[in-house]
Amino acid sequence: MAASPDFPAKARAAWGDAPDWIVALAEACQRETQSGVARRLGVSGSQISHVLANNYAGRLDRIEQLVRGAYLGATVDCPVLGEISRDRCLDEQGRPFAATSSLRASLYRACRGGCPHATHCKGAAA
């Protein structure tokens, strides 16, 4: 039977003096599983692997914010929901408009209407 991966060692080897959020990500993968962490963050397991290996070609800042929200307790003040975790904020930004829910509609408009925490939605038409 193969030994389970040592995610913290993988991160240290690739990053050297790794940022706190990389350490948190590696430790979460060690405690849980890489696929479990990926599911919680809403990304793929291969994205997690590439981030830990320090060769991720995508938006590293987005992954960082997801990790900070999910594992380091980072929060934001949502204009609709109040204080929420940073990873939930990013998740809400990515959800589609839903006229059947006044909350969804309010969130959709807020995320695209100048919320200071919006990332990929800035400048999008409401």
Taking alpha carbons only, the member of 19, 20, 44, 21 closest to residue 34 is 44
Q: Give 118's contacts (C-beta < 8 A, 6+ positions apart).
A: 93, 111, 112
- Spatial distance between the Cα atoms of 59 and 76, rounded to a whole number of angstroms: 20
Comparing 124 with 79, which gets the higher pLDDT? 79
**pLDDT (0 to 100) of residue 126:** 33
62-119 residue pLDDT tens: 999 999 999 999 999 999 999 999 999 989 988 888 889 899 999 999 998 889 988 8
> pTM for this structure?
0.81
Is pLDDT above 60 for 121? no
Q: Flag whether pLDDT at 1 surpasses 70.
A: no
Cβ neighbour number for residue 93 with a 10 Å cutoff: 20
Give the confidence band of 122 by pLDDT, cuts at 50, 70, 90.
very low
Q: What is the pLDDT of residues 9-32, one digit of tens each?
A: 999 999 999 999 999 999 999 999
Question: Domain boundaries in the chain?
Answer: 7-71, 75-112
End-to-end CA distance of the chain: 53
